Structure 1
Amino acid sequence: MVRQATWLCAILIVTQSGALLADSGLPNLEFNGFGTLGVVHSDERNADFVADPFASEGAGYSDDWSAEVDSRLGLQATLRMTPQLSSVVQVVSEKRYDGSFAPEIEWANVQYDLTPDLSLRVGRMVQSSFMASEHRKVNYATPWVRPPQEIYRLIPVANFDGVDMRYRYPLGRLPMNCR
């Protein structure tokens, strides 16, 4: 059921974006992307250096140099249908366990803002277990080349299909010079 909702989100963005934009006259469809081209060298002859324990090969045993360990490409489409209703689809292509770079859907959800502080999402979302969960694959947005494996590989599940409710509560205002 949830898997069908994930695909429904993706189809909704692709099929309805043109009609909705024509009716509203607003630029509600936004495309974004990110990419990393990383090259790794290892002179280890008995094993490969890999960023993912399920990777089929990397640098070292297979080849001295590898551009497959850290390289990835991500594309995202966000469709704002109304001020309260939006949908997002994010597809990421990176080295997979089978050696391919077949793209996978990381995000595909519909969000409805019940109030400015309360929102509900349905579909595929990122598992928000860590501080950098929502931008962990956007390497230039983090202070490291790859997230620390000792922390970010403890939970092997990166995303989930389901329902998410978020409530934001402001604790206070920052002084103007701190923003």
Structure 2
Amino acid sequence: MTPLFLRAFIHYLFIGLCTLTPCFAMAALAPSAEISGFARFIGGYLDTDGAKYQGYDDALSASQASLIGIQTNIALTPGLSVSGQLLMHSSADRDSGVEWLYMRYSPNENWQFKAGRLRTPVLRYSDVIDVGFAYPWISAPQQLYSGYLFSHYEGASARYRTRVGQVGINLEGYYGQYKDDINASDASYSANVEGLYGGIVDVMYGRLQLRFASLFAPDSDTDNAQIDPLRDAMLQAGFSRNAKVLDFKGDVDLYLMGANYETLDWFGAAEWMKINSKLEVLSTSTNYYVMVGRYFGDVQLHLTYANSRNTRKTIENEIPIGLSAQLDQLALVFDQVIGALPQDDLSTYTVGVRWDARPNVAVKLEWSHLRGDANKASYFTHIQPGFDRQANLLQMGVEWVF
């Protein structure tokens, strides 16, 4: 454990305990209450000094994915409850605090309603992505779970569960708003979506589960402290076409299909996601992963291939070259900004081992080979000249639920 992580862990643990004190008091008085938690201590090493990936570089670090979370579920009546989760994270790229807090109402076994701050339930592991004990990997495939889209929202959802013969069906719809920062490559954007909505269909038959999901973010508005002044300069100079390209307002749509199958000896899963946007600066992105694994008693061995491909329209620079040094400089800056916008073509090959040392403790070891497009960011950050977008990431860690 590095000294930096130790200091951060103690600091956030103290804040968390102080924040949750009212919840503990309420739980003690509630007729039915549950308090649980989870923690993960993850170390990682990237075998290159040419870039960073998920915050890792060529020095062993335990400050990127390590965290501790405490959650409460307080039953107010047989069908009404309040749930909350406080997350204390060691990474500088994530804020610690309340991850979700909502009220749940279940009038019967078929219907469930939630309202408050909720996880956006698109991907299979969206609700439990911080609880590493819940899935085989140390790091879920970055191509889908990188978190650059709208991972949470403030709003409401409704779920209906039923069975048709031997087929179980879950239907869910949600609506709300998102206002938070989105981290993408070396940039951070402030995003605001007033009417985010979507739906999920889960179909279960025996050991097979199929998932279909969607997310729609009409009129999303994104601000960037570096890009906004350039857009204003384009408007003042009369280059409205360039300024429009840099105006990050428009629709973003996401579609997902997934499947998983499990036996006593084998398990497998796959998810495919496509993101479309009317914004010229954003790419049409197609991402997926395929995983297969085998149980050997308390040990799991798994193999995963993940891939992302981005396609963006050609953006023409309307600023004429050669008329003045000022215009030449403005045109150069525009081209640099467009070229720096994240395009993440990356293939990842992952081999991992998980050992359930105890019913509530898992030890994991994972190796990933990263092969990206040398002309794109490919999920790497702090890229140095000459880096070919290829590296190996080694991670090890302990997952704990309590």
TM-score bin, normalised by smaller chain: 0.7 to 0.9
C-alpha distance in 2 between matches for 1:12 and 1:82: 19
CA gap of 1:87–1:74, structure 2 versus 1, over 3 A, is same
| Cα offsets for 1:98-147 (capped at 9, x unmatched) | x2775221210001112221121110111111111121111121121111
1:90 is matched with 85
Are 1:42 and 2:52 counterparts? no
- Post-superposition shift, 1:165? 0.8
Is residue 2:76 matched to residue 1:72?
A: no
Q: CA deviation at 1:16?
A: 4.2
CA distance in 2 between counterparts of 1:101 and 1:159 reads: 14
Match in the other structure for 2:137: 144
Change (3 A) 1:12 1:114: farther
Distance of 1:48 and 1:41 partners within structure 2: 10
Q: Match of 2:36, SS?
A: strand
More strand by share: 2
TM-score by length of 1: 0.72
1:172 to 2:165 alignment: yes
Match of 2:107 in 1: 114
Indicate the percent of aligned positions where both proteins have the same amino acid: 23
Cα gap change, 1:77/1:172 in structure 2, threshold over 3 Å: closer, same or farther? Answer: same
- Aligned residue identity for 1:130: L
Which digits, 9 at most, give the CA deviation of each residue in 1:40-63, with x for residues without a partner?
01231122232xxxxxx5332xxx
Cα separation, partners in 2 of 1:154 and 1:41, compared to 1, 3 Å: closer
Aligned to 2:288: none
Tell me which amino acid in the other structure corresponds to 1:20. A
Amino acid at match of 2:113: L
In structure 1, the partner of 2:127 is: 134
Which structure 2 residue ranges, 5 or more long, are not aligned?
A: 1-19, 168-205, 208-402
TM-score (norm 2): 0.34
Give the Å deviation of 1:94: 1.6
Equivalent-residue separation in structure 2 for 1:145 and 1:19 (angstroms): 37
RMSD over aligned CA atoms reads: 2.6
Q: Does 2:36 match 1:32?
A: yes
Counterpart of 1:45 in 2: which secondary structure?
coil
Q: Which residue of 2 aligns with 1:58?
A: 56
The CA distance in 1 between the partners of 2:38 and 2:71, in whole Å, is 9
